[in-house]
Chains A and B, each alone.
Chain A
Amino acid sequence: MLVAILQGLISGALVGGMYATVGIGLTLVFGVVRIVNFAHGSFLMAAAYASWLMYERYGIDPYLSGLILVPSFFVLGVAYYWGLMRPMVGKSLLAQSLLTIAVGYVIDNTALGLFSSQMRVVAVPYAVASLSIGPIALPVTRLIAGGVGLCATTIMYLLLWRTGMGIAVRAAAADRPIAEAMGINTHSAQAVVTGIGIACAALGGVVLLPIFAASPSMGADFTFLSFLIIVLGGMGSFFGALVGGVILGITENLGATFFDGSTGHMLTFVLFVVLLVFRPYGVLVRRR
């Protein structure tokens, strides 16, 4: 029993590290561009399918395909900003939301049309490998997810708080007209942030593919998951998103250990409702 709990905790926390990265991708775009990207999870799903396809067709290792996919999705995100989001900057919440929801639908249903609703798994040999520490077995794929998630979060933190680009991005988020008046090309800053946000989603898709499986419903699932994480951690907080991601990963995992997969999934939403009632600004913030 104790071992099972411990196993569930660690295993969940590792996946949670990756969830955090995906969540940060969403909150970053929202914080800077001020548009809620409801298609966030759909980009993650698209990356997962692309990774699966590269494995099926060319036998490229899913982690290796990430080296191609993450930069490609960065470019895709930049194009997404210039092509679709930029005209919506400063428009009504409804117009912005409808646009990103529509993009999500198009991606989700394209996936459904191309790949059907069947779950697609990558049958890599190391998918079942695990590292044993005493009685606890840690799957290698989850260890990788936790490690990559932590690295990605750290890199984004440094990028945002320790570089000139980070200053430009934060200034554009704080006061767009004045940032412009100080010589910052705010549209470029927002395009780069959207690129990073979408790249985070793609990283999530690639790294989580060997743990779960690719399916068209993954899109909507992960969009909601990302919202959960950032509400749990408090909007716009990096450290909060990390905590939120880990809490979510653990809840889901413990639920799946003691009940079944769908109950675990349901528990995360119960947690969400409970938190919204008692801690509406996140677990780390008492009130604002």
Chain B
Amino acid sequence: MLLEVRDLRTGYGAVEVVHGISFELAAGSMVGLIGANGAGKSGAMHAICGLLRHTGAVLLDGQDLARMSAHDRARAGLIMVPEGRRVFPGMSVRDNLLSASLHRRVRGRAQQTLDTVFHTFPRLQERLNQAAETLSGGEQQMLAIGRTMMGQPRVMVLDEPSLGLSPLFVQEVFRVIGALRETGLTILLVEQNVHHCLELSDYAYVLEQGHIVLQGAASDLLVDPRVRAAYLGTSNQPSEAEEVRQ
């Protein structure tokens, strides 16, 4: 397993919100983590990336990152695309991209990675010298993903990439995620958009109130009556609207 999380517990201050969850990702796979608002998805993601104190093990290719700082985890290759984009304001698109490629492992290949990012997001190349905060929400999401790509992640942790985007951009973001997956990138996807998430993922975990209550192949969860009732808002059979969309 490329990424293995064991008995992860974390929270904010004295309040524990994730009560010992375990999950794993095989190299080249895409794993979804779904759950309602406040289920602890974001807390768990921040914890594995080192932004929240936690207990338990976070094994990247067998190496335990649990005692490492956030920047050392990113340098090792576990890099997140933060919820809400969080591009650096007051900095150009170029500087935002380069900010993730400053450390030794990736510095030498920054130019090649930049070309890959431009290939994926041609629009970023057009806006290279523009201030990041002047981009549209969708463009900022592209920049946030591109920035993480610059760090040459071994595992990319995508935290709610479709949140707050217009429907058109939601489609675009999921198209890009699908394309990234095709390149062999290992992705952990946290999404409220359960339908899209399960369609793209190989395997998925359902998080409820800090516990993993269900897991399985994404295609199985997509038709699981419990998931359908709780997260897809439909009965056992795909609704007409969904059929039409497909």
Contacts and interface: CB of A to CB of B under 8 A. Distances in A.
A-B interaction: yes
B117 to A, nearest CB: 14
Contact of A182 (B69, B79, B89, B107): B79
B109 interface: no
A170 to B, nearest CB: 6
A183 B100 contact: yes
Contact of B91 (A164, A171, A177, A184): A171
A184 B71 contact: yes
Nearest to A182: B100
B114 interface: no
Interface string B66-101: 000111001100011010001011110001101110
A168 B101 CA distance: 10
Contacts of B100: 182-183
B147 interface: yes
Contacts of A171: 88, 91, 95-96, 99
A177 B159 CA distance: 15
A175 interface: yes
Most buried by A among B49, B80, B88, B147: B88
B98 A167 contact: yes
B91 A182 contact: no
Nearest to B104: A183
Nearest to B99: A171
A170 B88 contact: yes
A183 B86 contact: no
B123 to A, nearest CB: 21
A186 B69 CA distance: 11
Interface in A223-240: none
A181 B74 contact: yes
Nearest to B94: A167
Q: For chain A, what secondary structure do more than half of its interface residues adopt (helix, strand, loop), or is it mixed?
A: helix
A174 interface: yes
Contacts of B103: 183-184
Contacts of B148: 182
B179 interface: no
Contacts of B91: 167, 170-171, 174
Interface in B86-134: 86, 88-91, 95-96, 98-100, 102-103, 107
Contacts of B147: 182
Given A170-B95, A177-B51, A184 B88 contact: no
A170 B102 CA distance: 13
Nearest to A177: B51
Contact of B102 (A177, A178, A180, A183): A183
B138 to A, nearest CB: 19
Contacts of B79: 181-183
**How many residues of B sit at the interface, in one of the four size bands?**
20 to 34
A265 B103 CA distance: 48
Given A167-B98, A181-B80, A182-B79, A175 B86 contact: yes
B69 to A, nearest CB: 7
Nearest to A188: B71
A180 B99 contact: no
B102 A174 contact: no
Contacts of B99: 167-168, 171, 179, 182, 184
Interface in A177-230: 177-186
A183 B88 contact: no
Nearest to B105: A183
Nearest to B81: A181
B40 interface: no
Interface string A145-172: 0000000000000000000100110110
A181 B88 contact: no
A180 B51 contact: yes
B151 interface: yes
A24 B66 CA distance: 39
Interface of A: 164, 167-168, 170-171, 174-175, 177-186
Given A170-B88, A171-B88, A183-B102, 14 more contacts: A170-B90, A171-B96, A174-B88, A174-B90, A175-B88, A178-B82, A178-B88, A179-B99, A182-B99, A182-B100, A182-B148, A183-B74, A184-B103, A185-B69
22 contacts: A167-B91, A167-B98, A170-B91, A170-B95, A171-B91, A171-B95, A171-B99, A174-B88, A174-B90, A177-B51, A180-B71, A181-B50, A181-B51, A181-B70, A181-B80, A182-B79, A183-B74, A183-B79, A183-B100, A183-B151, A184-B99, A184-B102
Closest 3 CB pairs of A and B: A183-B74, A180-B70, A174-B88
